[in-house]
Amino acid sequence: MNLLFRDTAGPTLAPGGSVLCVGAFDGVHLGHRALLARVRERAAERGLVPLAISFEPIPRELFARGAPVPRLASAREKIERVAAAGIERLLLLRFNTVLAALEAEAFIERVLVARCAAREIWIGADFRFGHGRRGDVAMLREASARLGFTVEVMPDVEIAGERVSSSTVRAHLAAGEFDAAARLLGRPFSIGGHVVRGQQLGRKLGYPTANIRLGRRTSPVGGIFAVQVHGAAAEALPGVASLGVRPTVNGTEPLLEAHLFDFDGDLYGRRLEVEFVQKLRDEAKFDDLDAMVRQIDRDADEARAILADRRPGAGQDPVPLPAIEEVRSLPVPG
């Protein structure tokens, strides 16, 4: 990606015109990737700039009025994955009460046309925008001839008969179905971040951990997991991880703690990616630290057994994107 922008106002992002798509893009799953690939291909065919519009926080977070909204990826991860899809400009709008109150007609004229110089717009059939969600495909098509762009609706992408969507991925993760989630995401589900210093209690108990804070992000999963950790060595390393508030030690902030098996090294400040392979159990509060350590011993043994048959670094293999060719053959709704 060449440039990242945050505001609705400003100079035109693509003076020669753009092919663009709009969406929350949480997780950048296979459906998103098919849409981004179509935008990239059409922009190349027409000699225009491939551009995406997204939002941070995602609209669901603002409308939830403070209630936790699980996210599949951080803003950083979304930016990186949109860029990896070949998109040259990303307008990552600050979704706040001001933007939510913008009328749909104004969004078309100020953002899609004036800011992005849209010549071709790709959206999902259920896409809504503007104050009160008044904007839809019909409104865009009504404005298209007057404002000089065309509107294309992206068909749903299905994998193994299942519609690919962020909500479906979240449902699989909540149920501990990590293979099913990976099938729709196009990669294993993971959480990344920089390792921070903690209380170093794990080291004292014989299980040193790499700690990653979630910040404002709400995870769609919680509990104890068998994991593979990327970034600590040339290949992914097996381990066991906890994601929760640590009730036994009166923790309050959600924290991801990963213990890497047979690893001895300094990871502070390093960015790691923790890939979730299988859930072992829910988080629990123990009567004392000895009881907690006995359970950690059992968790570690179970995680080692689960991971024993996985070849090193297996989680780094991307799931192929068959949806691109499939989508090309699907009818586009009128």
Q: CATH number for the domain including 63?
A: 3.40.50.620
Residue 26 lies in a domain: yes
Q: In what order do the strands lie in the sheet with 49-56?
A: 3-5, 89-94, 49-56, 18-22, 118-124, 150-154
Residue 116 lies in a domain: yes
- 143: tokens are 């404005």
Residue 230 lies in a domain: yes
Q: What pLDDT does residue 320 have?
A: 43
Q: What pLDDT does residue 216 have?
A: 82
Q: What pLDDT does residue 317 have?
A: 43
Same-domain check for residues 225 and 133: no
Residue 52 lies in a domain: yes
Same-domain check for residues 199 and 147: no
Same-domain check for residues 208 and 285: yes
Same-domain check for residues 138 and 234: no
- Helix 178-185, helix 166-174: angle, nearest 10: 160
Residue 76 lies in a domain: yes
Same-domain check for residues 36 and 153: yes
Q: What pLDDT does residue 137 have?
A: 95
Q: How far is Cα of residue 68 from the mean position of the Cα atoms in its chain?
A: 16
Residue 134 lies in a domain: yes
Q: What pLDDT does residue 2 have?
A: 73
Rounded Cα distance between 271 and 292, Å, is 28
Domain housing 9: 3-162
283 CB-contact burial (10 Å; exposed 0-12 / middle 13-18 / buried 19+): middle
Same-domain check for residues 115 and 241: no
User: Which residue ranges of the chain lie beneath pLDDT 70?
Assistant: 1, 250, 311-334
Residue 303 lies in a domain: yes
Same-domain check for residues 156 and 223: no
Same-domain check for residues 158 and 205: no
Same-domain check for residues 204 and 128: no
Claim: this prediction has a pTM higher than 0.75: yes
Number of domains present in the structure of the chain? 2
**H helices present in 160-200, as ranges:** 166-174, 178-185
Same-domain check for residues 102 and 233: no
Residue 205: other Cβ atoms inside 10 A: 14
Residue 185 lies in a domain: no
